Amino acid sequence: MFHGGIPSGRLVEVYGDSGSGKTQLALHLTANTALKLQYEVCYITTGDANPKRILDIMQNLDKDGDYVKSLERITFCHIHDVYQLLEMLWTPEMKRYKLVIIDSLATLFLPIRGDAFNDSISLLNKVASDLKRLAVVHHCVVLVVNHVSRWSREGTTEAQGATLPTPFLGRYWCSVPSLRLYSKHLSDNQFELTVVKNVYSAEPGPKCSFSYFFRNGDTHQGKSNF
Protein backbone atom coordinates (compact mmCIF):
# COMPACT_ATOMS: atom_id res chain seq x y z
CA MET A 1 0.00 0.00 0.00
CA PHE A 2 1.06 3.66 -0.50
CA HIS A 3 3.22 2.50 -3.45
CA GLY A 4 6.06 1.08 -1.38
CA GLY A 5 5.47 3.15 1.75
CA ILE A 6 3.53 1.09 4.32
CA PRO A 7 2.67 -2.56 3.57
CA SER A 8 -0.92 -3.72 4.02
CA GLY A 9 -1.78 -6.13 6.80
CA ARG A 10 0.33 -4.26 9.34
CA LEU A 11 -0.25 -2.46 12.62
CA VAL A 12 1.84 0.71 12.48
CA GLU A 13 2.54 3.18 15.27
CA VAL A 14 3.62 6.79 15.00
CA TYR A 15 4.56 8.38 18.32
CA GLY A 16 6.13 11.60 19.52
CA ASP A 17 5.70 14.71 21.63
CA SER A 18 2.82 17.13 21.29
CA GLY A 19 3.25 19.20 18.13
CA SER A 20 5.64 16.69 16.53
CA GLY A 21 3.49 16.20 13.42
CA LYS A 22 1.76 12.91 14.33
CA THR A 23 -1.77 14.06 13.51
CA GLN A 24 -0.49 16.00 10.50
CA LEU A 25 0.99 12.79 9.11
CA ALA A 26 -2.22 10.86 9.81
CA LEU A 27 -4.33 13.50 8.05
CA HIS A 28 -2.04 13.53 5.00
CA LEU A 29 -2.17 9.74 4.76
CA THR A 30 -5.96 9.93 4.97
CA ALA A 31 -6.20 12.53 2.20
CA ASN A 32 -3.74 10.78 -0.11
CA THR A 33 -5.30 7.34 0.40
CA ALA A 34 -8.80 8.58 -0.43
CA LEU A 35 -7.79 10.95 -3.23
CA LYS A 36 -4.91 9.28 -5.04
CA LEU A 37 -5.36 5.58 -4.22
CA GLN A 38 -9.18 5.85 -4.09
CA TYR A 39 -9.43 3.60 -1.04
CA GLU A 40 -11.86 4.04 1.82
CA VAL A 41 -10.46 5.34 5.10
CA CYS A 42 -11.75 5.28 8.67
CA TYR A 43 -10.31 8.05 10.86
CA ILE A 44 -11.11 7.44 14.53
CA THR A 45 -10.25 10.39 16.75
CA THR A 46 -10.21 10.40 20.54
CA GLY A 47 -9.19 14.05 20.78
CA ASP A 48 -9.59 17.26 18.84
CA ALA A 49 -8.55 16.28 15.30
CA ASN A 50 -10.51 18.48 12.91
CA PRO A 51 -11.92 16.89 9.71
CA LYS A 52 -11.76 20.31 8.01
CA ARG A 53 -7.99 19.91 7.91
CA ILE A 54 -8.45 16.91 5.60
CA LEU A 55 -10.54 19.10 3.30
CA ASP A 56 -7.81 21.76 3.29
CA ILE A 57 -5.19 19.16 2.36
CA MET A 58 -7.34 17.74 -0.44
CA GLN A 59 -8.01 21.19 -1.87
CA ASN A 60 -4.27 21.72 -2.20
CA LEU A 61 -3.63 18.26 -3.61
CA ASP A 62 -6.36 18.54 -6.24
CA LYS A 63 -6.81 22.03 -7.66
CA ASP A 64 -9.45 20.79 -10.14
CA GLY A 65 -12.02 20.11 -7.44
CA ASP A 66 -12.30 16.35 -7.93
CA TYR A 67 -11.59 15.92 -4.22
CA VAL A 68 -15.31 16.27 -3.41
CA LYS A 69 -16.00 12.67 -4.47
CA SER A 70 -12.93 11.49 -2.57
CA LEU A 71 -14.31 12.95 0.65
CA GLU A 72 -17.09 10.35 0.47
CA ARG A 73 -14.43 7.65 0.92
CA ILE A 74 -13.53 9.00 4.38
CA THR A 75 -15.41 8.10 7.55
CA PHE A 76 -14.50 10.44 10.40
CA CYS A 77 -15.75 9.52 13.86
CA HIS A 78 -15.12 10.45 17.49
CA ILE A 79 -15.01 7.98 20.39
CA HIS A 80 -14.67 8.58 24.12
CA ASP A 81 -13.47 5.32 25.69
CA VAL A 82 -11.78 1.99 25.01
CA TYR A 83 -15.06 0.06 24.99
CA GLN A 84 -16.42 2.19 22.15
CA LEU A 85 -13.27 1.40 20.18
CA LEU A 86 -13.55 -2.35 20.79
CA GLU A 87 -17.19 -2.34 19.73
CA MET A 88 -16.42 -0.38 16.58
CA LEU A 89 -13.56 -2.66 15.51
CA TRP A 90 -15.99 -5.58 15.20
CA THR A 91 -18.65 -3.81 13.12
CA PRO A 92 -19.19 -5.19 9.58
CA GLU A 93 -18.39 -1.79 8.08
CA MET A 94 -14.72 -2.09 9.06
CA LYS A 95 -14.04 -4.54 6.23
CA ARG A 96 -14.52 -1.69 3.72
CA TYR A 97 -11.48 0.27 4.83
CA LYS A 98 -7.92 -0.04 3.56
CA LEU A 99 -6.62 2.47 6.10
CA VAL A 100 -7.80 2.71 9.71
CA ILE A 101 -6.35 5.44 11.93
CA ILE A 102 -6.74 5.73 15.71
CA ASP A 103 -5.67 9.19 16.88
CA SER A 104 -4.80 8.60 19.59
CA LEU A 105 -4.92 5.30 21.44
CA ALA A 106 -2.98 6.73 24.38
CA THR A 107 -5.77 9.22 25.12
CA LEU A 108 -8.14 6.35 25.90
CA PHE A 109 -5.76 4.95 28.52
CA LEU A 110 -4.56 8.22 30.08
CA PRO A 111 -7.49 8.39 32.57
CA ILE A 112 -6.49 4.95 33.90
CA ARG A 113 -3.78 5.50 36.51
CA GLY A 114 -2.02 3.76 39.38
CA ASP A 115 -3.11 0.23 40.26
CA ALA A 116 -6.02 0.53 37.85
CA PHE A 117 -3.54 0.98 35.01
CA ASN A 118 -1.83 -2.30 35.93
CA ASP A 119 -5.22 -4.00 35.84
CA SER A 120 -5.82 -2.59 32.36
CA ILE A 121 -3.14 -4.79 30.75
CA SER A 122 -5.80 -7.35 29.82
CA LEU A 123 -7.83 -4.57 28.17
CA LEU A 124 -4.76 -3.36 26.28
CA ASN A 125 -4.10 -6.95 25.20
CA LYS A 126 -7.63 -7.16 23.82
CA VAL A 127 -7.21 -3.90 21.89
CA ALA A 128 -3.86 -5.03 20.47
CA SER A 129 -5.29 -8.39 19.42
CA ASP A 130 -8.31 -6.82 17.71
CA LEU A 131 -6.21 -4.23 15.88
CA LYS A 132 -3.84 -6.92 14.57
CA ARG A 133 -6.79 -9.08 13.53
CA LEU A 134 -8.32 -6.16 11.66
CA ALA A 135 -5.10 -5.48 9.76
CA VAL A 136 -4.47 -9.11 8.81
CA VAL A 137 -8.01 -10.31 8.07
CA HIS A 138 -9.01 -7.29 5.99
CA HIS A 139 -5.52 -6.72 4.57
CA CYS A 140 -5.49 -3.07 5.58
CA VAL A 141 -3.12 -0.69 7.33
CA VAL A 142 -3.96 0.17 10.94
CA LEU A 143 -2.13 3.32 12.03
CA VAL A 144 -2.09 4.10 15.75
CA VAL A 145 -1.02 7.52 17.04
CA ASN A 146 0.68 7.39 20.44
CA HIS A 147 2.29 9.74 22.95
CA VAL A 148 5.74 9.42 24.50
CA SER A 149 6.59 8.13 27.94
CA ARG A 150 8.78 10.24 30.19
CA TRP A 151 10.43 7.24 31.80
CA SER A 152 13.12 4.94 30.44
CA ARG A 153 13.53 1.26 31.25
CA GLU A 154 15.74 2.08 34.28
CA GLY A 155 13.09 4.38 35.72
CA THR A 156 15.06 7.53 34.94
CA THR A 157 13.83 10.41 32.85
CA GLU A 158 14.22 10.23 29.08
CA ALA A 159 16.89 12.94 29.12
CA GLN A 160 19.04 10.65 31.27
CA GLY A 161 18.13 7.32 29.70
CA ALA A 162 17.23 6.02 26.26
CA THR A 163 18.53 7.51 23.02
CA LEU A 164 14.95 7.95 21.77
CA PRO A 165 11.83 8.54 23.89
CA THR A 166 9.79 5.40 24.50
CA PRO A 167 6.13 5.17 23.49
CA PHE A 168 3.36 5.46 26.04
CA LEU A 169 1.30 2.38 27.10
CA GLY A 170 4.18 0.45 28.63
CA ARG A 171 6.62 -2.33 27.84
CA TYR A 172 3.91 -4.75 26.65
CA TRP A 173 2.74 -2.37 23.93
CA CYS A 174 6.29 -1.89 22.63
CA SER A 175 6.21 -5.39 21.10
CA VAL A 176 2.81 -4.95 19.43
CA PRO A 177 3.28 -2.73 16.31
CA SER A 178 4.90 -4.26 13.22
CA LEU A 179 6.39 -0.88 12.35
CA ARG A 180 7.14 2.02 14.68
CA LEU A 181 7.82 5.61 13.57
CA TYR A 182 9.13 8.30 15.88
CA SER A 183 7.99 11.78 14.85
CA LYS A 184 9.98 14.87 15.77
CA HIS A 185 9.47 18.56 15.08
CA LEU A 186 12.68 20.08 13.75
CA SER A 187 11.87 23.66 12.79
CA ASP A 188 9.01 25.65 11.28
CA ASN A 189 7.16 23.23 8.97
CA GLN A 190 9.87 20.59 8.94
CA PHE A 191 9.34 17.26 10.68
CA GLU A 192 11.42 14.12 10.91
CA LEU A 193 10.23 10.51 10.94
CA THR A 194 12.56 7.82 12.24
CA VAL A 195 11.95 4.11 11.83
CA VAL A 196 12.62 2.66 15.29
CA LYS A 197 13.81 -0.93 15.53
CA ASN A 198 13.96 -1.33 19.31
CA VAL A 199 12.91 1.42 21.71
CA TYR A 200 14.61 -0.32 24.65
CA SER A 201 17.98 -0.87 23.02
CA ALA A 202 20.90 0.85 24.73
CA GLU A 203 22.31 1.61 21.30
CA PRO A 204 20.09 2.79 18.43
CA GLY A 205 19.43 0.05 15.90
CA PRO A 206 19.36 0.51 12.12
CA LYS A 207 16.97 3.29 11.24
CA CYS A 208 15.91 5.47 8.36
CA SER A 209 15.05 9.12 8.88
CA PHE A 210 12.80 11.21 6.66
CA SER A 211 12.21 14.92 6.71
CA TYR A 212 8.86 16.22 5.51
CA PHE A 213 7.78 19.76 4.88
CA PHE A 214 4.09 20.49 5.41
CA ARG A 215 3.19 23.69 3.60
CA ASN A 216 -0.26 24.61 2.34
CA GLY A 217 -1.38 21.00 2.47
CA ASP A 218 1.52 19.67 0.35
CA THR A 219 3.91 17.00 1.53
CA HIS A 220 7.47 17.09 0.25
CA GLN A 221 10.20 14.63 1.13
CA GLY A 222 13.25 16.60 2.13
CA LYS A 223 15.92 14.02 2.86
CA SER A 224 16.52 10.46 3.95
CA ASN A 225 19.42 9.12 5.97
CA PHE A 226 20.26 5.41 6.02
Longest dimension (CA), the chain: 55
Give this prediction's pTM: 0.83
Per-residue three-class SS string for 69-91 = HHHCCEEEEECCCHHHHHHHHCC
Classify residue 178 by its DSSP letter.
S
CA–CA distances in Å: residue 9 to residues 35, 137, 139 = 21, 8, 4
Residues 128-141 pLDDT 10s: 999 999 999 999 99
98 near 39, Cβ under 8 Å?
yes
Which class would CATH give 10-183? alpha beta
Residue 101 is predicted with a pLDDT of 97
Three-class SS state of 180: strand
Give, for 107, the enclosing helix (H) or strand (E): helix 105-109
Burial class (CB within 10 angstroms; exposed 0-12, middle 13-18, buried 19+) of 109: buried
> How many other C-beta atoms can be found within 10 angstroms of the C-beta atom of residue 144?
27
Q: In what order do the strands lie in the sheet with 41-45?
A: 74-78, 41-45, 99-103, 141-146, 10-15, 179-187, 190-195, 209-215, 218-225
Residues 171-217 pLDDT 10s: 888 889 999 988 988 877 788 888 887 766 545 544 445 444 444 44
Please, what is the average pLDDT of the chain?
80
Residue ranges of the domains in the chain?
10-183
pLDDT in tens, the chain (226 residues): 444 568 899 999 999 999 898 998 999 899 999 998 999 999 999 987 788 888 888 888 887 777 888 999 999 999 999 999 999 999 999 999 999 999 999 999 877 655 555 667 888 999 999 999 999 999 999 999 999 986 554 444 444 445 678 898 888 888 899 999 889 888 777 888 888 877 665 455 444 454 444 444 444 444 433 3
* Beta strands per DSSP E along 110-177: 141-146, 148-149, 166-167
